[in-house]
Amino acid sequence: MKITKDVVEYVAHLSRLEFSPEEVDVYTAQLDRILEYMDKLNMLDTTGIEPTTHAIPLADVMRADEVSNGLTVQESVGNAPERIDSFFKVPPIIEAE
């Protein structure tokens, strides 16, 4: 067993978590199984395998960032239901009592 109850309780204390004795037992067993699995993975021969950040190659689906002219004031507020000069008119969100 790589993880002890003392370690789980110490980490819980650092994290400001309170565990019942049963929860400490459960988390100790779960963390121990995780570390055992990591040991199995560490035994694999990975020489000649390139490090990757994703399991499959990803393509960027975003368009190129190009500078362009923005909308004119008339284009931006042209379809507004209500406006004041070049601004959108919206209902107030703070109600006075």
What's the pTM? Answer: 0.49
Give me the CATH topology for the region 5-42. Answer: Histone, subunit A (1.10.20)
Domain boundaries, the chain: 5-42
pLDDT for 15 equals: 96
CB atoms within 10 A of CB 3: 18
Q: What pLDDT digit, counting tens, does each position of 50-59 carry?
A: 888 888 888 8
Question: Per-residue confidence at 66, pLDDT binned at 50, 70, 90?
Answer: confident
Q: What would the pLDDT profile of 68-84 be if each residue is shown by its tens digit? A: 888 888 888 888 899 88
Question: What is the pLDDT, as a whole number, of residue 1?
Answer: 61
Q: Report the distance separating Cα 35 and Cα 39, nearest Å.
A: 6
